[in-house]
Structure 1
Amino acid sequence: MEDKKLMRQIKQGNSHALDILIRKYYNDIYSYCFRRTTNATVAADLTQEVFLKLSKYIHNYVHKGKFRNYLFIIARNICNDYYTKRGTVVEDIDLLDIPDHDSNFNRLERSEIILKALDSLPDIQKDVIILRFYQDMKVKEISEITGASIATTKSRLKQGLDKLKKNLSKGDVF
């Protein structure tokens, strides 16, 4: 169902429409929060906070652009608040619950290396890379979410990718 229609139904008091909207975007928001924090528990908590904030202020929402971008603005702000309140300590990924299959382990190991390399970037570059490559957003959408110009967003993307490439080639992420 189209977001605009869902929003109209929610504002008319249809709580089922809110459930549909949450289910539609839950995985994307969780994925973003996880990549920002590299901690599944914290990411789940932050994702819940995003949707609690959405449900609290949904009647104030004014349709401008894509609703998905609006949600990512909330998620970005909540992740930034998390780091402001708790510092920038990022916990390691718990590998104990992962099945011991070679291919899965190698894939997980590569994923962990990439997450650590991402975590080494400044937040402004990390956000742009996560939104571009993990959420498949266009530069224009990312600039709306981050509040930066398109030129600045492109610059942050290039700088972030250059740093990632350098860190991954040198092995500086550990």
Structure 2
Amino acid sequence: MEDKRLIRQIQQGNSDALDTIIRKYYNDIYSYCFRKTANTSVAADLTQEVFLRLAKYIHNYVHKGKFRNYLFIIARNICHDYYKKKGAVVEDIDLLDVPDRDSNFKRLEQSEIIIKALGSLPDIQKDVIILRFYHDMKLKEISEITGASLATTKSRLKQGLDKLKKILNREDVF
């Protein structure tokens, strides 16, 4: 069902439409929050907060552009607030708990290295990279979500990718 119609139904009090929106976008928002925090339980809590905030303020929402982008703006703000309140830092990931025999070990190890490398980037660069490569968004959409100009968004992407290359080429990632 089209987002615009679902939103109208939610604004008219249809809770089933809200459930449909949540099911439709939950995985995208959760994966964004996970990539921002590298913590499954924190990501789940932040994702829940995104949808609670959506439910609270949906009556004020005016449909402009893509609704998905609106949700990512909320998610970005909630993740930012989380770090601001907690002074949280991405926790070190201990790969020693994964047995060497595991056939997925190499893929897991690479994934963990990338998560740690992403965690070392400034938020403004991390956001652009996560939205571009993990959520397949266009730079124009990312600039709308982050509130930056298109030129600034392009610059942040390039700077972030350059930093990631340096980090991933170092021997001492851990």
If the TM-score is normalised by the length of the shorter chain, which range does it land in?
Answer: over 0.9
Divergent runs of 4+, >4 A: 93-101
Q: Look up the SS of the partner of 1:42 in the other structure.
A: helix
Query: Does the Cα contact within 8 Å between 1:39 and 1:92 map onto a contact in 2?
Result: no
Distance 1:97 1:13, change over 3 A: farther
CA distance in 2: counterparts of 1:38 and 1:143, whole angstroms: 24
Instruction: Name the structure 1 match of 2:35.
Output: 35
Match of 1:142 in 2: 142
Q: Which residue of 1 aligns with 2:129?
A: 129
Q: Tell me, what secondary structure is at the counterpart of 2:88?
A: coil
Task: Give the whole-Å Cα distance in 2 for the aligned partners of 1:136 and 1:162.
Answer: 19
Per-residue CA distance 1:87-133 (angstroms, 9 max, x = gap): 13222447698687533111111000000000110000000000000
User: Are the aligned partners of 1:33 and 1:75 in contact in 2 as well (CA < 8 Å)?
Assistant: yes
The sequence identity of aligned pairs, in percent, is 83
- Does residue 66 (structure 1) correspond to residue 70 (structure 2)? The answer is no
Give the TM-score of the pair, scaled to structure 2.
0.94
Paired amino acid for 1:63: H
Matching residue of 2:156: 156
2:19 maps to 19
* Cα separation, 2, equivalents of 1:74 and 1:147: 12
Letter of the 1:11 partner, please give it.
Answer: Q
Amino acid at match of 1:75: A
Between the two proteins, the alignment pairs up a number of residues equal to 174
In 2, the alpha carbon distance for the partners of 1:165 and 1:23 equals 35
Q: Which residue does the alignment assign to 1:111?
A: 111
What is the Cα deviation at residue 168 of structure 1? 0.3
Q: CA deviation at 1:11?
A: 1.0
CA distance in 1, matches of 2:42, 2:161: 26
Please state how far the C-alpha of 1:12 moved relative to its aligned partner: 1.2
